[in-house]
Structure 1
Amino acid sequence: MADPGRDAARDPGRAPEPDARPADGTAHHDGEPAPVEYRTAELAEAAGITVRTLRFYRERKLLPPPRREGRVAWYNEHHLARLRTISVLLARGHTLGGIADLIDAFEKGRDSGSAAELLGLESTLASPWSEETPVRLTPEDLAAHFPDEVTSDNLATALDLGYIAVDGDEVVHVSRRLLDASTALVREGIPLAAVLEAGRVVREHADAVADLFTRLVRDRLFAGVDELSPADLRRLTEIMDRLRSPAKQVVDAELALAMDRRLRAELESWPRAHVDSETERDSGRGAGTAPEASGAESGTESGTGTDAASADA
């Protein structure tokens, strides 16, 4: 059993209670920063997932075992980076089974090229751009989001896009935000098949924008670098971290401006005959009926016109 007094003496940054909050990195021991550690709920919150999802990942052996003090599990930055990497890979369309295979290959040294590329650079992915939260859904939950739209074709398309992965009796959606957006569009009356097809097109354009940003960094800031040294990797990580917010701002601003332009063009291109008819009715029965109404109410002017025509004849 852990001795709280001995633990406190060994690490002055940790309170003696076994369920105390972990070291925050500000305390020092022998001149070194105390490592940051998280309890289960704290790690789930930092990773943007639920405790249930965290435990599910542990059961699937997607995470290495935590350090334990009695019944308390302590996780560190490596666990947090792994969770964020899993979120990134899910967003890229990998299934949980595929991610488990990649992790196994990486840890056993097999398939070092692709596995290391995806999982070995966890420091670069420690703060993923996606920041998406996977959502676990029962078949009933999925049907509630998309009534009468959960067909085999739509499921196949969603699987192909990487939006969902099937795990046992449940479905894992890669993104709470994408799920909410798709649900909102379907509720407006847009068929789910059309929403998924639009998602495919958006994915293509988003990939093109991401390619543009990464080529800017590689061609302009890492020109001539054939292999990334540890120093290059640290520099790349810092640069991408600083560019995360500006890049998202550019995309958000350009999309908003493009929507303004497109909506104005759409409104200008649509016929508005029905609007004109309503305006005419509101302003005096319409141009076609005005002369008859005037003639009925003012027989003098009408009769004068008739007499004049007879005289001319």
Structure 2
Amino acid sequence: MEELARLAGITVRTLRFYRERKLLPPPRREGRIAWYDDHHLARLRTIAALLERGHTLNGIAELAEALDQGRDVADLLGVGTPTEEEPVRLTPEELAARFEGEVTPENLAAAMELGYLGTDGDQIVHISRRLLDVSSALVREGIPLAEVLTAGARVRAHVDDLAEMFAELILRHGTEADLHRLRPLARSVVEAELSLALDRRLSKRDEKDAETD
């Protein structure tokens, strides 16, 4: 315990306090000896970084509980599941830096429920760098993360239907290999249609504004 406290730059008394608050998992015991490892040191450094960012100990405890109960990265990524998306590994403090003040237990739980986030030891894994970059950009623009996640859930329902439609179309005239080969074409159709739909939406808004003027 003294060695761990020294490496973390805290006192043994503070370390005991963190353990009592369940901010730190219990050590591995061999008889009367308690062994701490890199997992405990990483957790202490995370606590320090989150405290520096203004999180309270109660908030950190809730975040730790949400992460400890979150989906494992193996469940998140699947075994051998093909993907064009690039997963991203983050520490809890790096995630907090991406979404200043928006990383709450409720938002973590929502992101894990959507399948955006999973845990791997002391790291968090986001399933898609593109989604991570877009969501953090929207939050920087002033849109609350909770609303971004709600929108993500709505988008998920629509794109699942679109994926099923394209899969049925391609498999009706081809094989599973064709489905993998032609997926960029399906993605291009969706991207183009979304762009056109936004054009129509903006055009209608401009017309409405002109009528108001």
Same fold (TM over 0.5): yes
Shift of 1:236: 2.5
Tell me which of 151, 157, 167 is aligned to 2:110.
157
The whole-number CA distance in structure 1 between the counterparts of 2:195 and 2:150 is 21
Question: 2:91, 2:122 within 8 Å by CA — same for their partners in 1?
Answer: yes
Q: Which amino acid aligns with 2:92?
A: P
Tell me which of 73, 76, 80 is aligned to 1:96.
73
Question: 2:88, 2:126 within 8 Å by CA — same for their partners in 1?
Answer: yes
Tell me which of 120, 123, 126 is aligned to 1:170.
123
Shift of 1:99: 7.0
1:92-115 CA-to-partner distances (Å, cap 9, x unmatched) read: xx7324379x76xxxxxxxxxxxx
Partner of 1:221: 173
Partner of 1:252: 191
The whole-number CA distance in structure 1 between the counterparts of 2:76 and 2:99 is 28
Tell me which of 209, 213, 236 is aligned to 2:176.
236
The whole-number CA distance in structure 1 between the counterparts of 2:192 and 2:73 is 34
* Alpha-carbon distance change, 166 to 265 in structure 1, aligned in 2, over 3 angstroms: same
1:12-59 CA-to-partner distances (Å, cap 9, x unmatched) read: xxxxxxxxxxxxxxxxxxxxxxxxxxxxxxxxxxxxxxxxxxxxxxxx
1:189-242 CA-to-partner distances (Å, cap 9, x unmatched) read: 000000000000111111010010111133x326xxxxxxxxxxxx431x1243
**Which 5+ residue runs of structure 1 have no aligned equivalent?**
1-93, 104-118, 120-124, 223-234, 277-313
Larger Rg: 1
* Alpha-carbon distance change, 264 to 169 in structure 1, aligned in 2, over 3 angstroms: same
Q: Which amino acid aligns with 1:172?
A: V
Partner of 2:202: 263
**Which 5+ residue runs of structure 2 have no aligned equivalent?**
1-70
Within 5 Å, which residues of 2 pair with 1:39-50?
none
- The yes-or-no answer on 1:188 pairing with 2:156 is no
* Alpha-carbon distance change, 243 to 194 in structure 1, aligned in 2, over 3 angstroms: same
Aligned length: 143
Shift of 1:262: 1.0
* Alpha-carbon distance change, 215 to 172 in structure 1, aligned in 2, over 3 angstroms: same
TM-score normalised by L of structure 1: 0.42
Q: Which amino acid aligns with 2:98?
A: H
Within 5 Å, which residues of 2 pair with 1:1-313?
95-98=72-75, 119=80, 128=82, 130-218=83-171, 220-221=172-173, 235-237=175-177, 239-270=178-209
Identify, as 1 or 2, the structure richer in helix.
2
The whole-number CA distance in structure 2 between the counterparts of 1:203 and 1:162 is 10
* Alpha-carbon distance change, 241 to 186 in structure 1, aligned in 2, over 3 angstroms: same
* Alpha-carbon distance change, 147 to 157 in structure 1, aligned in 2, over 3 angstroms: same
Partner of 2:58: none
- Kindly report the root-mean-square deviation, in angstroms, between the aligned alpha carbons of the 2 structures: 2.4
Question: 2:107, 2:146 within 8 Å by CA — same for their partners in 1?
Answer: yes
